[in-house]
Amino acid sequence: MNFQRAKSINRKPARAIPFLRHGNNKPPLRKQPQTQHHNTSKLRIRIPFITEIKETQNTEQALSLFHHYKQQGFRHCYPSYAALIYKLARSTNFQAVETVLDHIQQTGMHCKETIFIALFQHYGKSLLPENAVQLFHRMPHFNCVRTLQSLNTLLNVLVDNDRFGEANDVFKRCYEMGFRPNTVTFNIMIKGWLGKDQWEKACEVFDEMLQKRVQPSVVTYNSLIGFLCRKGDLDKAMALLEDMNRKKKYANEVTYTLLMEGLCSLQKYEEAKKLLFDMAYRGCKPKLINFSVLMNDLGKRGKIEEAKSLLYEMKKRRLKPDVVTYNILINYLCKEGKTEEAYKVLLEMQISGCEPNAATYRMMVDGLCRIGNFEVGLNILNAMLASGHCPRSETFNHLVVGLLNSGNISGACFVLEEMEKRKVAFDMEGWGSIVKYACSEEKDAIGLLDKLTSIRQM
């Protein structure tokens, strides 16, 4: 991975940045409003550097700002360094992060654990789990006490980055390092074993959890139930649900969603729907996600009317459908060529105050192109672009070709111009259609191609 070049923390700034100096070179104090039911709120120290660094656009500006304040005599403390590290980490400039950390370590400054936890997560997202491991071992050198939260974050980073062997080694040394694993720790390890398709090993961790008198949570059960449902073992999954109920570990909407998906995958829709009543009976109010699972299954099987009835049932239960719910209906209506009905659903969702997203518009445009209604497709595209969304290149290409074939050259040129603005390429198949259309009888081939190619060269 390429990193931005790190600057020495003690070098002079590359350029000056406006700075309001104070006589003692210390940040001003701003009094907070006093509340009527408390005596006096504590004065909060406002550090101008932190306020400004949040507004910087890139790491170069952030480092220059840091050096400029230092040159002006401002003494950076831990909050300043933490703000700089957060900015650098979010920009994935980890070489600069390491430079700042080295400087902090040399100063003997006391650091909070939260900064390291955040860095573990950033390293994990950037596929650098080894950096997280090294920093975890360095934490004591920053006058920072490692707690179980740091360990759990590290374990999760390793598991998510497919380094489960290392995670398991760290887990085995928990007590040796002075940590007592909690529910979160065991949940991470169970997730890791299940990710490796090792059901028996996951059960061993679950048993160890009980032996250590660590209480399983609903997340623990959901991990196990989800795995069983994906494998089609619904009997064991339902048995775990009963075990939860016996132990007063109340299932949530995610638990029932997993079970519903499992039942639907085995073509047991009626049993899945009955879980809605089981949820309500056990005090778990059905949520949008539960209805969405049922609607999706009905849509796959072409039972659109039944899916619509679920939409009305949701409204009766005072559940406001969201964009995901409406998209399920629009998707399957378009796939069946019922774009007029899909368009009515689109209008209904807008009237209800639910804004369409990129997927909504894309499905509508693609559906209209499939049935050859390119004029309405162009109108939907306009609405999509106006709302700040952009179609896929395939959608653009199909629409251009369709508009040309229907004789709407100006519409095709408009779409090509929008593609050019967004640097979306026009594929070879599309150009073949254009040439074929332009060379058809009584068409101005040269004029049309000149117009189209001029647009592509803008």
For the chain, which residues make up each domain, given as ranges? 396-458
Nearest to 275 by CA among 249, 248, 241: 241
Report d(CA 189, CA 155) in Å as an integer: 8
Confidence of residue 328 (pLDDT cuts 50, 70, 90): very high
Nearest to 216 by CA among 241, 257, 244, 239: 244
Helix 428-438 and helix 393-405: axis angle, to 10°? 10
Q: What are phi and psi of 346, to 5 degrees?
A: -60, -45
CA distances from 92 to 76, 125, 136, 435 (A): 23, 10, 18, 46
What does the radius of gyration of the chain's CA atoms come to, in whole angstroms?
30
3 state SS of 45: strand
Nearest to 10 by CA among 89, 106, 87: 106
On the question of pLDDT at 65 being above 90, the answer is no
Q: Work out the burial of residue 196: count CB atoms within 10 Å of its CB; fewer than 13 is exposed, 13-18 middle, 19 or more buried.
A: middle
What ranges in 161-233 are assigned the alpha helix state H?
164-172, 183-195, 199-211, 218-231
Q: Are 175 and 160 in contact (CB under 8 A)?
A: no
Mean model confidence pLDDT for the chain? 85
Whose tokens are 């109108």? That residue is: 379
pLDDT digits (tens, 9 = 90+) for 277-325: 999 999 999 999 999 999 999 999 999 999 999 999 998 999 999 999 9
pLDDT digits (tens, 9 = 90+) for 398-456: 898 888 888 888 888 888 888 888 888 766 666 666 666 656 544 555 555 555 555 55
3 state SS of 90: helix
What ranges in 371-408 are assigned the alpha helix state H?
374-386, 393-405
The pLDDT, as a whole number, for residue 73 is: 77
pLDDT digits (tens, 9 = 90+) for 136-176: 999 999 999 999 999 999 999 999 999 999 999 999 999 99
On the question of pLDDT at 363 being above 70, the answer is yes
User: Which pTM was predicted?
Assistant: 0.78
Lowest mean pLDDT among 71-80, 217-226, 261-270, 286-295: 71-80
The pLDDT, as a whole number, for residue 70 is: 77
On the question of pLDDT at 66 being above 90, the answer is no
Percent of the chain with pLDDT over 90: 62
Q: Residue 93 carries which DSSP code? A: -
Q: If you write DSSP's letter for every residue of 271-318 in order, what string do you get?
A: HHHHHHHHHHHTT----HHHHHHHHHHHHHTT-HHHHHHHHHHHHHTT
Report d(CA 458, CA 417) in Å as an integer: 9
Type of residue at 323: V
